[in-house]
């Protein structure tokens, strides 16, 4: 199968790429190729803030896996142009390219953040409540992908707190760095929101069965262990042998938990998370 992969040098993409390349012909799209090549991968150097017409993509492909997202997701409104260009416009252009290239499947990486929050595990059929510009851009891209279902199989993944070695700047590695370095940790509420992170090796296992799925579908990609932020910090204390400097602040009004129901992932894709949080955190050290 010939697969076009965007975001190939990102956190999920860099772990997924060698797995795909072992079984398929991969054309990897990134702003710049990595220092270390992956055998058998054709690299296309392209910035998705620019028109896709400038990219040298193959005339035919079997599938597209669209992982790329703007790195300026925290910079609103200054980064809004970049977020819209990468998250929304490039998704539309890739969908049009997919139509012309005759693909059979289009896989899109979204976020569990589109649900907003809830008091129970959120399922794929629950109402959405995107709370900021970045999440709204992901929701908009989801709607575009869904509109092409009559032309090819459209698969959307809503990822919940993917974590693992090599990750920077996100919730789990940021907390872990503070525990290791003795920096202060302020948790909103007591004991903080509940979440169910998924280890990167488990998260990338969803792609292969999704590419083979015979229909369009939407999946939450989330772990089995539900923890509060305080629970998560305790596991980090255990893994590092250090005591964290934790304080609590009043939770903002209207905030709830962000726990994804992963039943559909397990039943339709056959993917059950295999890495315990304790072990995943230790691997990051």
Structure token pair of residue 83: 């977020």
- C-alpha to C-alpha distance for 242 and 52, rounded to whole angstroms: 48
User: Which CATH number is 58's domain given?
Assistant: 3.40.50.720
Residue 72 is predicted with a pLDDT of 85
Q: Is residue 45 part of a domain?
A: yes
| Among 204, 222, 216, 215, residue whose Cα is nearest residue 265 | 222
- CA angle (207 as vertex; 166, 68 as ends), nearest 5: 55
Neighbours of 284 (CB within 10 A): 19
For residues 12 and 3, is the Cβ–Cβ distance under 8 A?
no
For residues 63 and 168, membership in a common domain is answered with no
For residues 174 and 211, membership in a common domain is answered with no
User: Which CATH number is 190's domain given?
Assistant: 3.90.25.10
Total tally of structural domains belonging to the chain? 2
Residue 270 is predicted with a pLDDT of 97
Res. 248: pLDDT tops 70:
yes
3-state secondary structure of 66: strand
Q: Is residue 145 part of a domain?
A: yes
Q: What is the pLDDT of residues 65-101, one digit of tens each?
A: 999 998 888 889 988 999 999 999 999 999 999 999 9
pLDDT mean over 107-115: 97
Q: Can you give the pTM of this predicted structure?
A: 0.94
Residue 254 is predicted with a pLDDT of 52
For residues 40 and 62, membership in a common domain is answered with yes
For residues 79 and 146, membership in a common domain is answered with yes
For residues 28 and 120, membership in a common domain is answered with yes
For residues 148 and 83, membership in a common domain is answered with yes
For residues 15 and 36, is the Cβ–Cβ distance under 8 A?
no
Confidence band (pLDDT; 50, 70, 90) for 222?
A: very high
Structure token pair of residue 206: 């969803």
Residue 253 is predicted with a pLDDT of 56
Q: Is residue 266 part of a domain?
A: no
CA distances from 266 to 156, 218, 221, 225 (A): 15, 13, 9, 14
Q: Is residue 251 part of a domain?
A: yes
| Among 18, 3, 113, residue whose Cα is nearest residue 69 | 113
Res. 15: pLDDT tops 70:
yes
pLDDT mean over 275-284: 96
Confidence band (pLDDT; 50, 70, 90) for 119?
A: confident
Kind of pairing between the strands at 41-45 and 105-111: unpaired
DSSP output for 116-179: --BSSPBPTTSPP---SHHHHHHHHHHHHHHHTTTTSEEEEEEE--EE-TT--SSHHHHHHHHH
Q: What is the pLDDT of residues 17-70, one digit of tens each?
A: 999 999 999 999 998 888 777 888 999 999 999 999 999 999 999 999 999 998
Q: What is the average pLDDT value for the chain, to the nearest integer?
A: 94
Q: Is residue 267 part of a domain?
A: no
Expressed in angstroms, the distance from the first to the final Cα of the chain is 36
- C-alpha to C-alpha distance for 235 and 197, rounded to whole angstroms: 13
For residues 53 and 9, membership in a common domain is answered with yes
Residue 252 is predicted with a pLDDT of 67
Residue 32 is predicted with a pLDDT of 86
DSSP output for 181-204: HT-EEEEESSS--EE--EEHHHHG
Q: What is the pLDDT of residues 249-272, one digit of tens each?
A: 877 655 679 999 999 999 999 999
Residue 148 is predicted with a pLDDT of 98
Domain of residue 180 covers: 163-195+225-259+274-284
- Considering only 29-43, 117-131, 206-220, which range has the smallest mean pLDDT? 29-43
pLDDT mean over 238-259: 83
For residues 123 and 172, membership in a common domain is answered with no
Q: Is residue 264 part of a domain?
A: no
For residues 24 and 147, membership in a common domain is answered with yes
For residues 17 and 149, membership in a common domain is answered with yes
Q: Is residue 269 part of a domain?
A: no
Q: Is residue 213 part of a domain?
A: yes
For residues 134 and 120, is the Cβ–Cβ distance under 8 A?
no
For residues 51 and 115, membership in a common domain is answered with yes
For residues 110 and 188, membership in a common domain is answered with no
């Amino acid at each position: 199968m010939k697969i076009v992969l965007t975001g190939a040098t990102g956190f999920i993409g860099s772990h997924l790429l060698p797995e795909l390349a072992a079984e398929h012909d991969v054309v990897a799209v990134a702003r710049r190729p990595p220092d270390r090549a992956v055998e058998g991968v054709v690299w296309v150097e392209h910035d998705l803030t620019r028109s896709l017409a400038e990219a040298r993509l193959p005339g035919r492909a079997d599938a597209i896996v669209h992982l790329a997202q703007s790195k300026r997701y925290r910079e609103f409104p200054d980064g809004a142009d970049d977020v819209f260009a990468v998250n929304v416009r490039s998704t539309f252009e890739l969908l049009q390219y997919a139509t012309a290239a005759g693909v059979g499947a289009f896989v899109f990486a979204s976020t569990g953040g589109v649900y907003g929050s809830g008091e129970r595990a959120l399922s794929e059929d629950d109402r959405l409540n995107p709370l900021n510009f970045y999440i709204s851009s992901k929701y908009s891209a989801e709607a575009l992908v869904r509109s092409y279902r009559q032309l090819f199989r459209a698969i959307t993944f809503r990822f919940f707190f993917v974590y693992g070695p090599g990750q920077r700047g996100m919730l789990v590695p940021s907390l872990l760095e503070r525990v290791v370095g003795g920096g202060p940790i302020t948790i909103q509420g007591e004991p903080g929101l509940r979440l169910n992170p998924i280890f990167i090796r488990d998260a990338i296992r969803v792609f292969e069965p999704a590419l083979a799925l015979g229909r369009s579908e939407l999946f939450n990609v989330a772990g089995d262990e539900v923890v509060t932020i305080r629970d998560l910090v305790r596991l980090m204390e255990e893994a590092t042998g250090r005591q964290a400097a934790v304080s609590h602040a009043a939770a903002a009004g209207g905030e709830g938990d962000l726990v994804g129901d992963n039943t559909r992932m397990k039943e339709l894709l056959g993917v059950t998370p295999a890495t315990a949080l304790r072990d995943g955190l230790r691997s990051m050290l």
